[in-house]
């Protein structure tokens, strides 16, 4: 029996109602899996990290990670709603009492969806210090101008956590000073200075571009102190990396289970293909790589829940899990031969979906650069 088996069983029971054909259709139409997100919200699992005093279940990152891993292990996809778990942390840690009282209970109950997180911009790339979206103070308001790209789920969210510049890049001692975080009510912003354009992509991730043209928001939208936004965002990144790594482990375990099952059943040259070590060994290798990566994810979540530093572990977990699932996806495609390409087996869709983990929310190179510079103390590159 695995740890948190009760949570795994409950998630597996929900996922039974959302089989491959459900996800296939959503993927084909690039449609949002509203029914799945509603089911997860109603079960309370999406609010697991919100403290009980605000209507959540006050669980740790370990339980949140188990939830998302199991969603993916069952062949479903948490991408439509996982941000609710970690974006909320910025409000929880840095929001005022009034903001927490106003938003967290409604997020916990599902009345408000906080799914959109606007950091990436077309011209800045990974160099967040160069974002160009600005927030200028004007009396009791801020006025927002600029553009975000790859803002997932913007069309399906009521609130957006937005990173914008409140003072120029060269005004403070460090380039990342002068960034601020805002919690924007997208319902009133839409059509009043904010517009959203869907971005058709390789995966069904509700990706969008969001444009701000003189959007006026009240000063009360600011989270924490002006100019400290990057630090607030950074604070949430370990949680995000651990949760994303867990999804990757779930995908890898799904690929391994699918490949194992198929290798036992599929007969070519009068024997199961899994009898050939050319098929068996890649599955075994994938299994070993995935279990090793899962141990790093566990180490990261244990440190996180104990309140200990976990930056190195969270980054290594994300790196190892995303590489393990990518290798497992390729192994699974190869095991299925031509049928791996057929939509009805779900392998090609999962293969596309799992590729995302090597790029977002942080790409492999940036994690390697973190390990090189911050753990191994190699010379700083940028």
Ligand X SMILES: Cc1cc2nc3c(=O)[nH]c(=O)nc-3n(C[C@H](O)[C@H](O)[C@H](O)COP(=O)(O)OP(=O)(O)OC[C@H]3O[C@@H](n4cnc5c(N)ncnc54)[C@H](O)[C@@H]3O)c2cc1C
Interface stretch with ligand X, choices 86-94, 135-143, 197-205, 329-337 (CB under 6 A) = 197-205
Nearest CA-CA partner of 348 in 371, 362, 330, 327 = 330
Integer Cα distance of 164 and 367 in angstroms: 24
With binding defined as CB under 6 A, does residue 232 bind ligand X? Answer: no
CB of 135 to ligand X, least distance (A): 16
The H or E element that residue 138 is part of is strand 134-138
Binding test (CB under 6 A) with ligand X, winner from 143, 201, 237, 371: 201
CB of 114 to ligand X, least distance (A): 12
Binding test (CB under 6 A) with ligand X, winner from 306, 365, 374, 375: 365
The sign one gets for the Cα dihedral 158, 162, 167, 168 is negative
CB of 1 to ligand X, least distance (A): 35
Integer Cα distance of 37 and 46 in angstroms: 9
The H or E element that residue 186 is part of is helix 186-189
Integer Cα distance of 168 and 103 in angstroms: 30
CB of 103 to ligand X, least distance (A): 19
Interface stretch with ligand X, choices 134-142, 175-183, 329-337, 365-373 (CB under 6 A) = 365-373
* C-beta closer to ligand X: residue 116 or 259: 116
* C-beta closer to ligand X: residue 109 or 363: 363
Residues of this chain, 134-173, that bind ligand X according to CB under 6 A: 150-152
| Parallel, antiparallel or unpaired: strands 114-118 and 159-165 | parallel
Binding test (CB under 6 A) with ligand X, winner from 16, 123, 192, 359: 359
Tokens for 365, please give them: 């190179």
Contacts 24+ apart (CB under 8 A), 335-340: 335/259, 335/262, 335/263, 335/273, 335/279, 335/282, 335/283, 336/258, 336/259, 336/262, 337/266
Residues of this chain, 101-130, that bind ligand X according to CB under 6 A: 117-120, 125-126
Integer angstrom CA distances of residue 25 from 14, 65, 121, 205, 217? 18, 27, 30, 14, 38
First to last CA, the chain: 46
Residue nearest to ligand X (CB): 125
Total binding residues toward ligand X, as defined by CB under 6 A: 24
CA 260-261-267 angle, to 5 degrees, is 100
With binding defined as CB under 6 A, does residue 363 bind ligand X? Answer: yes
CB of 184 to ligand X, least distance (A): 14
Interface stretch with ligand X, choices 86-94, 199-207, 244-252, 302-310 (CB under 6 A) = 199-207
CB of 359 to ligand X, least distance (A): 6
CB of 236 to ligand X, least distance (A): 12
Integer Cα distance of 318 and 326 in angstroms: 12
CB of 346 to ligand X, least distance (A): 19
Interface stretch with ligand X, choices 139-147, 279-287, 337-345, 355-363 (CB under 6 A) = 355-363
With binding defined as CB under 6 A, does residue 356 bind ligand X? Answer: yes
Interaction site with ligand X (CB under 6 A): 117-120, 125-126, 150-152, 201, 203, 205, 207, 356, 359-363, 365-366, 369, 381-382
């Amino acid at each position: 029996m695995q740890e948190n088996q009760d949570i795994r069983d409950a998630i597996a029971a929900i996922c039974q109602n959302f089989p491959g054909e459900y996800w296939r259709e959503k993927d084909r139409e690039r449609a949002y899996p509203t029914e799945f997100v509603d089911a997860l919200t109603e079960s309370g699992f999406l609010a697991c990290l919100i403290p009980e005093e605000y209507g959540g279940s006050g669980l740790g990152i370990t339980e949140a990670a188990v939830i998302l891993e199991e969603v993916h292990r069952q062949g479903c996809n948490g991408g439509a709603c996982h941000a609710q778990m970690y974006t909320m942390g910025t409000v929880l840690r840095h929001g005022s009492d009034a903001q927490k009282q106003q938003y967290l209970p409604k997020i916990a109950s599902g009345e408000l969806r906080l799914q959109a997180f606007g950091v990436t911009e077309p011209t800045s790339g990974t160099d967040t210090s160069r974002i160009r979206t600005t927030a200028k103070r004007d009396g009791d308001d801020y006025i927002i101008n600029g553009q975000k790209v790859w803002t997932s789920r913007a069309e399906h969210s009521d609130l957006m956590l937005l990173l914008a510049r409140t003072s120029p890049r060269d005004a403070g001692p460090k380039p990342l000073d002068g960034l601020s975080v805002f919690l924007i009510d997208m319902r009133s912003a839409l059509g009043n200075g904010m517009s959203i354009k869907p971005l058709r992509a390789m995966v069904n991730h509700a990706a969008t571009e969001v444009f701000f043209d003189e959007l006026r928001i009240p000063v009360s939208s600011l989270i924490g102190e002006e100019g400290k936004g990057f630090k607030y965002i950074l604070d949430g990144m370990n949680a995000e990396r651990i949760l994303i790594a867990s999804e990757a482990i779930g995908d890898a375990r799904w690929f391994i289970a699918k490949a194992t099952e198929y290798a036992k059943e599929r007969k070519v040259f009068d024997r199961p293909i899994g009898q050939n070590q050319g098929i068996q060994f890649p599955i075994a290798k994938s299994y070993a790589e995935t279990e090793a990566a899962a141990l790093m994810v566990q180490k990261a979540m244990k440190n996180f829940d104990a309140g200990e530093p976990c930056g190195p572990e969270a980054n290594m977990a994300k790196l190892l899990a995303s590489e393990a699932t990518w290798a497992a996806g390729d192994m699974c495609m190869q095991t299925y031969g031509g049928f791996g390409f057929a939509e009805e087996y779900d392998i090609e869709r999962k293969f596309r979906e799992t590729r995302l983990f090597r790029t977002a929310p942080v790409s492999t190179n940036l994690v390697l650069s973190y390990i090189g510079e911050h753990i191994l103390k190699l010379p700083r590159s940028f």
